[in-house]
Amino acid sequence: MNLDSIKALLIGTAIAFSGGLLRVLVSIQNKEKKQPWEHFITLAIVVIVGFTMSYLMNRAELHDKWYSTGILFVLGYGYDKFLKMITTNLPNWIEKSVNLFIETRYGVKTDRQTDEEEEVRKDS
């Protein structure tokens, strides 16, 4: 690892950290009900994610591209929102893809009724 690689890692981590710091400051300003330790955990995660992404971008030779700065900043700022979005929607995405695969591959519809759909049908 040469000096340019280390410099790219540090700069990328600092950019992600600045995004995370902005997120923490916005959270404090909006008086979100978070404990101080939650803000420190947020910043620690942002540093780890920023360093990892900087390393990956450096290995892929994307560290000197203009969009890598934006990606790192947005990742630092919105990682908790992205994480919440992914964890709430991922089970639905997986279920829809598996159902689509089974339907196209085997021609079998796999309609599973959720509890809400069953209640609506009972009420009707």
User: In whole numbers, what is the pLDDT of the chain averaged over residues?
Assistant: 76
Q: What angle do CA 23, 27, 32 make, to 5 degrees?
A: 155
Per-residue pLDDT tens for 28-72? 888 888 788 888 887 888 888 888 888 887 777 765 666 677 777
Q: Write the DSSP string, 23-82.
A: HHHHHHHTT-S--HHHHHHHHHHHHHHHHHHHHHHHHTT-TTSHHHHHHHHHHHHHHHHH
Per-residue pLDDT tens for 86-120? 667 767 777 888 888 888 888 777 666 555 555 65
pLDDT category at 19 given cuts 50, 70, 90 is confident
Looking at this protein, which amino acid is placed at residue 45? I
Instruction: Answer yes or no: is pLDDT of 26 > 60.
Output: yes
